[in-house]
Amino acid sequence: MTTKYTYYQTDAKLVLTIYEKNLEENEVKVHVEPKKLRVTYKDKTLFNSSLLEDVVVDETTTVVKKNNIEIVLKKVTPKQWATIEDKEKDKQDAKAAPTDKWTAIAREADEDEEKEGGVDKFFKTIFKDADDDTKRAIMKSYTESKGTVLSTNWKEISEKKTPIKPPEGLEFKEYPH
C-alpha cells in the first residue's frame, strides 16, 4: 500500500504533507539531504525519493500531528518545480552498484535472464562462483529435499538430513519409479 501525500509550493518553499494514521511524534524520522528526502515511521518507509531540485537542509521544519506529517523544505533556487520527485534519479540510484556479493550475482543473473538462459543461468552463476562448502550445501540440500530446499550454508546443512519443504499450499507426493 502506498502512503498518500500532497504538496504545494511557492517560489521559496515546498510544503509536503504525508498522511498516516495514529502517528507518534517520537517514532517519526525525517532525513533530509540537498536532493533527497526520506521519512519513516517506526519500521515503515512513508516517503523516500530524490527531489527535483536542491533544498536548504538546515532550514527544514517538521510538524507531526496525529494523522499527518508536514515538512517545509526551503528551496536553494527560488522557482516553481514541475514536480517534487526526480524519478529519473531514483531509477539511476536503483541501478547503482550493489551493496553485497549476492545482490551483485542476482542482478547479473537478472540481466542474463533477460538476454538468455533464464533461471538455469542464475543457478549456474551461483554455483560457479561458490566455494566448495557452498557447493556441497547446494547439492546436499537440493538432493535430500527432492528439489524443495536450496541452501548455501554448509554448517547448517551438514549436521542433519534436509527435510522436504514444498511451497506453502502444496504437498509433496512420492511417485513410484
Q: What is the pLDDT of residues 21-75, one digit of tens each?
A: 999 999 999 999 999 999 999 989 999 998 999 999 999 999 999 999 999 999 9
36 with 70, same domain: the answer is: yes
Residue 94, in any domain of the structure:
no
Query: Within a 10 A sphere around the Cβ of 145, how many other Cβ atoms?
Result: 19
**Termini Cα distance of the chain:** 47
Q: DSSP of 62-124, one letter per residue?
A: EEE-SSEEEEEEEESS-S--S-SB-HHHHHHHHTSPPSSHHHHHHHHHHHHHHHS-HHHHHHH
Residue 95, in any domain of the structure:
no
9 with 65, same domain: the answer is: yes
* Residue 58 phi, psi dihedral angles, 5° rounding: -70, -15
60 with 105, same domain: the answer is: no
117 with 59, same domain: the answer is: no
Measure the CA–CA gap between 56 and 67, rounded to whole angstroms.
26
> Which structural domain range is residue 16 located in?
4-76
9 with 56, same domain: the answer is: yes
Q: What is the pLDDT of residues 55-68, one digit of tens each?
A: 999 999 999 999 99
DSSP single-letter state for residue 32: E
State the chain's mean pLDDT as an integer. 85
Q: Which helix (H) or strand (E) holds 157?
A: helix 154-158
| Residue 78: per-residue pLDDT | 94
Q: Please classify residue 177 by burial: count the beta carbons closer than 10 Å to its beta carbon, then call 0-12 exposed, 13-18 middle and 19+ buried.
A: exposed
Residue 110, in any domain of the structure:
yes
Query: Which amino acid, one-letter code, is at 135?
Result: K
Residue 90, in any domain of the structure:
no
DSSP single-letter state for residue 18: E
Q: Does position 98 have pLDDT exceeding 60, yes or no?
A: no
Q: Domains in the chain: how many in total?
A: 2
68 with 109, same domain: the answer is: no
Q: Strands 36-41, 44-50: parallel, antiparallel or unpaired by DSSP? A: antiparallel
Q: What cell numbers appear for 131 in the block?
A: 566455494
pLDDT above 70 coverage of the chain, percent:
84
